[in-house]
Amino acid sequence: MSDVLLEIRDLSVNYGHIEAIRDITFEVPQGSIVTLIGANGAGKSTTLKTISGLRKVRAGSIVYDGQDLAKVSPDKRVQIGISQAPEGRGIFPGMTVRENLEMGAYVRRDRSASALAPDFERVLTLFPRLDERIKQVAGTLSGGEQQMLAIGRALMARPRLLLLDEPSMGLAPMLIKQIFTIIEEINEQGTTVLLVEQNAAQALKLAHYAYLLETGEIVRSGTGAELANDPSVRAAYLGGDI
């Protein structure tokens, strides 16, 4: 097993006729938190969707744990440990919180109640709010609770690589802090995290390594602290100060 869990090489993806990402290269080391920051439309979500297999690769490659994903179907990718909490949460509004969490374990071979029990316990310990709402229909949850549900659901697959798409979107500052603390905790429990964020200030504080994406290309990279102190990043993404 290599110590790079995910390796993106010269990846280009089209969205219709438009080039959404162009020749991007980056890697996610085992056990780390890596973040892709950038403005709306920079291609961050497209990158995550492509890793999960929802968008077609035009050129380049995605290598996960030494395996080229080119011919691996989206459901297989979940099976081998790549799990995503999508942008806008993407929870199933008509299912209960419990059913949503069970959906997270959809591809697992062992789905018996006893096999899922430790995962339920882990998720509900991380997000006690979900425990309180376990029988509630997910469409009636608040935005923050839906975000917790989306992350919790992704964890139910027991991922090695957790892809998080804008977990802070639309949340109050207090709640953002709470969510980011939990992401750190998930990482400390051994899950590698690739985080896509517009909220650069929070993401850079958390990330071991960061890449800045502008109109489909990576224009800067460095440790979280390096990018946070980069004058151009500060000017464009951090409003001058943290």
Partner 1 sequence: MAFQYVLDQFVSLFVGGLVFGSVYALIALGYTMVYGVLQLINFAHSEVFMFGTFATVWALWLVGADATTAGVALVASLAVAMLIAMITSGGVALLLERVAYRPLLNRGAPRLIALISAIGASFVLSELMGLRGALASALGVDDVLGRYVARSRENLGLPTDRTFTVQFEVLGYGVTNKDIIIVLAALLMMIAADQFIRRTRLGRGIRAVAQDPESASLMGVNSTRVIQLTFLIGGLLAGAAATLYMLQVGLTRYNAGFLLGVKAFTAAVLGGIGNLRGALVGGLVLGVAESLGSGLFGSEWRHVVAFVLLVVILLFRPTGLLGESLGKARA
CB closer to partner 1, 4 vs 95: 95
The CA-atom distances, in angstroms, between 133 and each of 115, 139, 214, 225 are 22, 12, 39, 37
Least distance from partner 1 to the Cβ atom of residue 137, Å: 6
Nearest in space to 32 (alpha carbons), one of 3, 10, 73: 3
Residue 45 makes contact with partner 1 by CB under 8 A: no
How would you write 170-216 as a 3-class SS string? CCCHHHHHHHHHHHHHHHHCCCEEEEEECCHHHHHHHCCEEEEEECC
Binding to partner 1 (CB under 8 A) within 123-182 occurs at 137, 139, 153-154, 157
Given 25, 41, 61, 94, the residue binding partner 1 (CB under 8 A): 94
Least distance from partner 1 to the Cβ atom of residue 135, Å: 9
Given 91, 151, 183, 186, the residue binding partner 1 (CB under 8 A): 91
196, 44 Cβ separation under 8 angstroms: yes
Interface positions with partner 1 (CB under 8 A): 52-54, 73-79, 83-84, 86, 90-96, 99, 102-104, 106-107, 111, 137, 139, 153-154, 157
